[in-house]
């Protein structure tokens, strides 16, 4: 049962995406029991239980039946009264460890000298500098992260890391926190997502206790904020974030910010915030090379001495799954977990059968960044125009076409597409898709442009 549950979790992480999985599915616990036909799962709160039941009850039953055909039902309850089954450790993604993104900051720990307690973040122990696989695409970001974590005077702050999803930003943030705490054991360190920052700030406002929230963040010796793009358009949150950044920088403390794009491309974020962030060191993580993907796989396989993965399977994974390191590691996890559960030997046929849908999707997958670049080139404009606030027809129509293509050619949700176009609402994406569908029937120029772009992107 524990092995089956590990496989189910790995599949859910792949299908749901790291952010949704970390927030809603990671807290699910499998209740120990002898009945392998009626599965019992628990969640720590009634709210989470209701959400998972309404959104994932059928999917959980399907995933369990995929590995245990005899399963009849999956029951989801709140507040386990018996000890849950311990989940088998498996290789997890580099860039989205569950605790670092969604878990609240752990309770303070008393300092060694009996003074004020030190803040302790929930870090993934596997995400360290030693385990970060480096090549020219991420070397600058790695060296900058190491320099900021070193003891002594702060050489630069803030450090702004940007790159595509699943390329290692969160790995580096965890590594910075690990290294800094090793040399400053009594330091106050916080690692949270911008979404969590917003959630806690709103909760503090509702509770009329913003002073404690501000004091907790601004007293940090090292503050790390991930996924900054999610506060785009949130005026109250940005106001508080701006003052927090100012306080941290004025005190000469360390600040690390990560986002999926460079500061200048973060449409919907106040210019004064972008000015502060650009004043430090901006380091990008470029898309992974085949050599880096191969090295990541070899590093993960080295952590599993009992698993034998042929070289041809490694080469196939490194060459076919190119969208992110996260998805690459997920594919390796899936292959090794299925081999463990079925007792079969990993070879090319087994890997292709296990990853059939994933490999077919990876073969024809198009990213929103690629769509934006293709549309910008076709209409002789800058990609930044597509994510800007400009509403001129010469910009708005290509933006609608790009949103239409993103909906048609990618698996991203409407809110995700909206965020990639300057933090726009999902209703804006719906309107754009419907408008282009209408124009393709009546406007030959729009239909011709869409056909040309579809040929380029799908080809």
Q: How many angstroms separate the first and last alpha carbons of the chain?
A: 44
Tell which CATH classification among 1.10.260.30, 3.40.50.720, 3.40.1160.10, 3.30.300.180 matches the domain 2-78.
3.30.300.180
How far is Cα 225 from Cα 160, in angstroms, rounded to an integer? Answer: 10
How far is Cα 175 from Cα 165, in angstroms, rounded to an integer? Answer: 18
Residue 101's pLDDT is: 33
How far is Cα 164 from Cα 451, in angstroms, rounded to an integer? Answer: 27
Residue of higher predicted confidence among 103 and 251: 251
Above 80 in pLDDT, residue 118? no
Instruction: Specify the CATH number of the domain 98-109+116-285.
Output: 3.40.50.300
Q: What is the pLDDT of residues 335-379, one digit of tens each?
A: 988 888 888 899 999 988 888 767 765 555 678 989 999 999 999
Instruction: Specify the CATH number of the domain 368-458.
Output: 1.10.1750.10
Above 80 in pLDDT, residue 229? yes
What's this model's pTM, rounded to 2 decimal places? 0.58
Is 188 within 8 Å of 119 (Cβ atoms)? yes
Above 50 in pLDDT, residue 100? no
Q: What is the pLDDT of residues 402-445, one digit of tens each?
A: 999 998 888 788 888 999 998 898 889 999 999 998 898 888 88
- Quickly list H helices, 284-425: 290-302, 311-320, 325-342, 348-354, 356-364, 368-378, 383-386, 393-409, 414-420
Instruction: Provide the percentage of residues in the chain whose pLDDT is more than 70.
Output: 87
Query: What is the Cα Rg of the chain in Å?
Result: 23
Please state, rounded to an integer, the average pLDDT across all residues of the chain.
82
Q: Which of 38, 34, 50, 47 is nearest to 75 (CA)?
A: 38
Quickly state the pLDDT bin for 212 (edges 50, 70, 90): confident
Instruction: Specify the CATH number of the domain 290-364.
Output: 1.10.8.60
- Domain parsing of the chain, residue ranges: 2-78, 98-109+116-285, 290-364, 368-458
140-145: long-range contacts (C-beta < 8 A, 24 or more apart)? 140/283, 140/284, 141/168, 141/169, 141/172, 141/283, 141/284, 141/285, 142/172, 144/281, 144/283, 145/172, 145/173, 145/175, 145/176, 145/256, 145/283
Non-local CB neighbours of 15 within 8 Å, separated by 6+ positions: 59
How far is Cα 345 from Cα 349, in angstroms, rounded to an integer? Answer: 10
* Same fold across 2-78 and 368-458: no
Residue of higher predicted confidence among 55 and 114: 55
């Amino acid at each position: 049962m524990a092995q089956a549950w590990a496989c189910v979790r790995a599949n859910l992480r792949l299908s749901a995406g790291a952010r949704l999985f970390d927030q809603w599915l990671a807290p699910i616990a499998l209740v120990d029991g002898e009945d392998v036909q009626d599965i019992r799962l628990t969640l720590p709160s009634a709210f989470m239980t209701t959400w998972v039941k309404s959104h994932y009850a059928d999917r959980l039953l399907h995933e369990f039946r995929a590995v245990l055909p005899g399963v009849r039902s999956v029951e989801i309850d709140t507040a386990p009264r018996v000890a849950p089954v311990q989940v088998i450790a498996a290789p997890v993604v580099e860039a989205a460890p569950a605790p670092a993104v969604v878990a609240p900051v752990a309770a303070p720990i008393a300092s060694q000298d009996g003074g004020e307690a030190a803040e302790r973040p929930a870090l993934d122990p596997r995400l360290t500098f030693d385990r970060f696989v480096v090549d020219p695409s991420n070397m600058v970001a790695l060296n900058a992260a190491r320099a900021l974590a070193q003891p002594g005077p702060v050489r630069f702050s803030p450090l702004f890391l940007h790159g595509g999803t699943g390329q290692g930003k969160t790995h580096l943030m965890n590594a910075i926190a690990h290294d800094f705490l090793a040399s400053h054991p009594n330091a106050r360190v916080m690692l949270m997502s911008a979404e969590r920052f917003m959630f806690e700030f709103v909760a503090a406002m509702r509770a009329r206790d913003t002073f404690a929230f501000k004091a907790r963040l601004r007293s940090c010796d090292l503050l790390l904020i991930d996924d900054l793009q999610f506060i785009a358009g949130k005026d109250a949150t940005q106001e508080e974030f701006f003052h927090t950044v100012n306080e941290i920088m004025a005190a000469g403390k360390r600040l690390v910010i990560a986002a999926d794009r460079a500061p200048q491309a973060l449409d919907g974020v106040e210019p004064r915030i972008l000015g502060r962030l650009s004043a430090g060191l901006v380091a990008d993580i470029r898309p992974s090379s085949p050599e880096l993907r191969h090295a990541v796989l070899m590093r993960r396989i080295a952590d599993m001495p009992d698993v034998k993965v042929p070289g041809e399977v490694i080469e196939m994974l490194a060459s076919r799954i190119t969208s992110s390191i996260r998805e690459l590691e997920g594919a390796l996890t899936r292959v090794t977990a299925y081999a463990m559960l079925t007792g079969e030997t990993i070879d090319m046929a087994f890997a292709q059968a296990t990853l059939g849908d994933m490999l077919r999707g990876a073969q024809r997958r198009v990213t929103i960044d690629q769509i934006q670049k293709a549309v910008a080139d076709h209409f002789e404009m800058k990609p930044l125009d597509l994510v800007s606030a400009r509403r001129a027809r010469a910009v708005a129509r290509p933006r609608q076409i790009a949103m239409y293509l993103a909906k048609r050619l990618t698996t991203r949700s409407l809110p995700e597409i909206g965020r990639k176009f300057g933090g726009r609402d999902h209703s804006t994406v719906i309107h754009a898709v419907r408008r282009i569908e209408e124009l393709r029937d009546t406007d030959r120029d729009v239909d011709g442009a869409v056909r040309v772009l579809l040929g380029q992107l799908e080809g």
